[in-house]
Structure 1
Amino acid sequence: MVGTPADADAGGVPALGPRQLGVYFALMEAVSLLQHQVEQQLRAEGDLSYVQFQLLARLASAGGDLTMTQLADGVVYSRSGLTYQAGLLEKAELITRRPSPDDERSTLVAITEAGLALVGRVLPGHVEVTRGLLFDSLSDDDLDHLGAIMTRVRDHMRAQPPRSAVPRKRKPSG
């Protein structure tokens, strides 16, 4: 994996250079450290997983119903995993699910008052952790640069078809 970009591994793919590898590992470590602290805060203050918080926060900010597909694409989570998480949130009466009146294949999801209250309760701690670990270390210029870079990277990644558009693999019948 390490080498000059002209080097290729056994699969013919150019190796990452030392600078690229360093940036990759720094990014992954920073994301892991931030996500770990956020997850601890969410568990302690709301008994929520990070994915559950993402779902509730997206629904709270949507101002209305979202489809399960919109949620899955928005939080980058598997369909089956999202269905399971939505079931837990529905059982806790934090969301509701219902068939779409416009598309029988779609399920609409909405946040309940209890869900909104929970988001309101955990959000200050979430902001505190995020600010303390990420934003406090950045100048205004750093923030502008990081925002521009991460937006460009995200948009490049999102240019691929959404995961919901990828056909499911069928198990061989036997």
Structure 2
Amino acid sequence: MTFAEPYDDLPLDESQLRAYFGLMDVAGLLRHHVEQQLREAADLTYVQFKVLARLGLDSPTGSLRMTELADEVVYSRSGLTYQAGQMEKAGWVERSPSPDDDRGVTLTITAAGRTRLTEALPGHVEVLRDLLFATLSDDDVTALTALLEPVLERMRARPPRSTTSRRRRAATPDA
């Protein structure tokens, strides 16, 4: 692909640009369908689902520190605090002081939160199977995972500014 001036010297080739736009389009379309399914099946936002899934599916205790959870769901700490408040009002989670850190807060999924997650999961899995995995072989899925994991690891090492603590930002020269 040849770019028009003044973009003709961009350091991306056609395959990189196609991969980038393809990834962004797939992620955007998939997220749209996932969000629609979550609203219809369980009256959940995407972030609320991610929080419940991390607590209910990934954590053996059903609890995580809020700062750890914010990093895992790639959401700002203030945004997660707001979501946790909304979810606590709905009875899906409980907040409590962290047993490891007096300043920390732990979020724990409740029985009602597990019920909400259970309501969302079958349709969520169906959307993923239909839109993402239907055209991929098992080897394709393995390859996709192998490609995305190092990219995700690199990106998680450079979290968005809103998820970086003030103390860490002050120590980072490019913040």
Pairwise TM-score range, normalised by the shorter structure: 0.7 to 0.9
Write out aligned runs for 1:12-161 (5 A). 15-61=11-57, 62-64=59-61, 65-160=63-158
Q: Which amino acid aligns with 1:23?
A: A
- Mapped to 2, the partners of 1:92 and 1:161 lie a distance apart of 29
Residues 161, 127 of structure 1: CA spacing in aligned structure 2 closer, same or farther, 3 A cutoff?
closer
**Contact 1:42–1:48 (Cα < 8 Å) also in 2:** yes
Q: For 2:138, give the aligned amino acid.
A: D
Give the TM-score normalised by structure 2: 0.84
Higher mean displacement: 105-114 or 57-66: 57-66
Q: TM-score, normalised by structure 1?
A: 0.85
Identity of aligned residues (%): 53
Which residue in 1 is equivalent to 2:173? none
Which stretch shows the higher mean deviation, 43-52 or 143-152?
Answer: 143-152
Distance 2:128 2:159 in 1: 30
- What displacement does 1:110 show? 0.2
Q: Figure out how many residues of one structure are paired with residues of the other and give that number.
A: 162
Contact 1:89–1:95 (CA under 8 A) maintained in structure 2: yes
Distance in 1 (CA, whole Å) between partners of 2:98 and 2:89 is 20
Partner Cα separation in structure 1 for residue 100 and residue 132 of structure 2: 42
Q: Point out which structure has higher relative CO (alpha carbons under 8 A, 6+ apart).
A: 2
Q: CA deviation at 1:155?
A: 1.8
Task: Write the deviation string for residues 128-156 of structure 1: whole angstroms up to 9, x where unpaired.
Answer: 00000000110122111111101121122
Counterpart residue type for residue 100 of structure 2 = D
AA at the equivalent of 1:80: S
Distance in 2 (CA, whole Å) between partners of 1:161 and 1:47 is: 29
Partner SS, residue 146 of structure 2: helix
Stretches (4+) displaced over 6 A: none
Structure 2 alignment gaps of length 5 or more: 171-175
Distance 1:17 1:166 in 2: 36
User: Which blocks of at least 5 consecutive residues in structure 1 are unaligned?
Assistant: none
Q: Is the 8 A contact 1:73 1:162 kept in 2?
A: no
